[in-house]
Every structure is written in structure tokens, then in C-alpha cells.
Amino acid sequence: MKGPDNNTHWWLGVAELVVQGMHHGAVKLKRVHLSIADESFRVLDAIPVTRPGSRLVRVCHHGIARVSYDSVSLAGRVVAEGAASAGARLSMHRQDMTET
């Protein structure tokens, strides 16, 4: 791609790639994290004495883990939206500069 927007579009592409990596990485890590934690919680659930407490801890643990990983994914999307918006504004500014 040639022209003054070449560098801007390249960086926007890099930002999008990073965001996609963050999103997919967060989804995969969340899945693995919860799966590993479930192994321990299943053992605790099999013991009658620890069952009530472990169920409560499991719900809290999974909720916190989901919020954490979803926050990473959301942060990536916010950064991507900001980068796209800045890129669009820069593109419009460059167009205005060439027209005048």
C-alpha cells in the first residue's frame, strides 16, 4: 500500500493482531484455568465434610477468574477501538491537509 496512510494502516493492523491475540489468549487461559481448578474442586466435592465450603469457594473462584480474563479481553477491545478511532481521525486530517 502506498501513500501517506501506509504507516498508519500498518500500525492499525498490528494493533488489531495484538487485540485478537489478547482475546484468544484470554479465552484459552480462562478455559484451562477453570478446568484445572475444577479438578481440585471435584476432589473436595467428593468429601462430605468439605463439600459445602468447597462449593462456595468454587463459585467465588470461578466468578473472579471469569471477571479477570474477560477484563483482559475487554481491555484489548477498548484499545483496538481507540486505535481505530485515532487512525480514522488521522486519516481524515491527512485528507484535509492534502485537499487544502
Domain of 78 in residue numbering reads as 17-99
How many domains, the chain?
1
Q: Residue 22: inside a domain, yes or no?
A: yes
Tell me, yes or no, whether 12 lies in a domain.
Answer: no
5 is a domain residue? no
Residue 73 within any structural domain of the chain: yes
pLDDT in tens, the chain (100 residues): 455 556 777 888 888 888 888 888 999 999 999 999 999 999 999 999 999 999 999 999 999 999 999 998 888 888 878 877 877 777 777 666 676 6
Residues 90 and 59: their CA atoms lie apart, in Å, by 46
19 in Cβ contact with 79 (< 8 Å): yes
- Domain membership of residue 41 (yes or no) is yes
How many other CB atoms sit within 10 Å of the CB of residue 32?
Answer: 10
- Tell me the pTM: 0.69
